Amino acid sequence: GVLADQVAEQTMALLTGLLRDLPTFFRAQQKREFIRRPTRDLTRATIGILGFGGNGRRIAEVLRPFRGRILATDMFPTDKPDTVDELWHADRNEELLAAVDVLVLAAPLTQRTRGMLNARTLGLMKPSSVIVNVARGKLIVERDLVNALRARALAGFATDVTEVEPPALDSPLWDMTNVIITPHVGGQ
């Protein structure tokens, strides 16, 4: 949590940029198009924070004013602050995945968490849900994520980290319109 403020700011930038569809508007701006398009709201969303250490706790503080339902999981679910509605043990991660509109990954990379988001677990999420990863790229099996995004089994993905950094030049993530990538700058 040493850089928790910076990581929380990066989370908000990625999350609001994704929900408000800023990549679409940036592309439109480059073409000098001024066309209204649909966006989504963060207010009153169900948000899941997977990993509730220093970064996860700070992210919850920043998200609280949006009046959503905030759920969090952690290996040591102690000292539940008022910033979350429920704090569960990490054994309930799959329940969290199924319940949320927004998933924020703030978990450490361990043997238990490596590849925790894969074809099976991504399939538990709502097709309208989005994921923001400000933790570690290897928490997600990237090819499974790409497949879920292509199949519209997930609405979007924003990340400050990737499975391999930098992603390969031919990574499909670069060109997906429902993806935002920043180059591991959240802790700056």
Cβ-proximal residues to 150 (8 Å cutoff; 6+ apart), any chain: 172, 176
Joined together, the tokens standing for residue 149 give: 């995004």
Catalytic residue among 57, 58, 136, 163: 136
Peptide bond into 166 cis (omega under 30): yes
Beta bridge partners of 171: none
Q: In degrees, to the nearest 5, what angle opens at C-alpha 116 toward C-alphas 9 and 143? A: 90
**Is 136 tagged catalytic?**
yes
**Is 32 tagged catalytic?**
no
**Which active-site residues does the annotation give?**
136, 165, 184
